[in-house]
Amino acid sequence: MKYRLDNNQYFVSLDPGDEINKSFENLAKIENIKSAWINGIGALTNMEMGYYDIESKSYIRKKYTEDYELTSLNGNITIKDGEVYSHTHITFSDKNFNVFGGHLFNGIISAAGEFIVTAGFNSLLRKYNNKIGLALWCIEE
């Protein structure tokens, strides 16, 4: 991972083999980022995706092991259970131009990853919501 700061935006370049969410969490720890928004593109492989089933309050998981074009990544960095947490969603395409998307549990950069991390100025916490079954933003704190 290489990055450069410009005002409150980090231009982040991930290398082949870099794990996407862990890289964002490492950046947040190094730079003391407690909240941020993430956008990016690139190429990835060996990923695990999820679709959140509201009725069962659990993720349906699927693994993808080939190389894919990362057409879009959006996400955020917050504080969950006292730790930096990277929450990302992606869309990606295969060599036949089929497009897939969902929650990214983990994925590895296969060729390049180019991202902008826009840091907030305050911490943003997550707290578990029993009704939804997920740790959601706690805006009122």
Q: Where are the domains of the chain?
A: 2-137
Query: Which H/E stretch holds residue 4?
Result: strand 2-6
Rounded (5°) CA angle 114-118-119: 135
Paired sense of beta strands 99-119 and 134-137, if any: unpaired
Q: What is the pLDDT of residues 4-55, one digit of tens each?
A: 999 999 999 999 999 999 999 999 999 999 999 999 999 999 999 999 999 9
CATH top class, domain 2-137? alpha beta
Has this prediction a pTM greater than 0.85? yes
According to the model, what pLDDT value does residue 140 have? Answer: 77
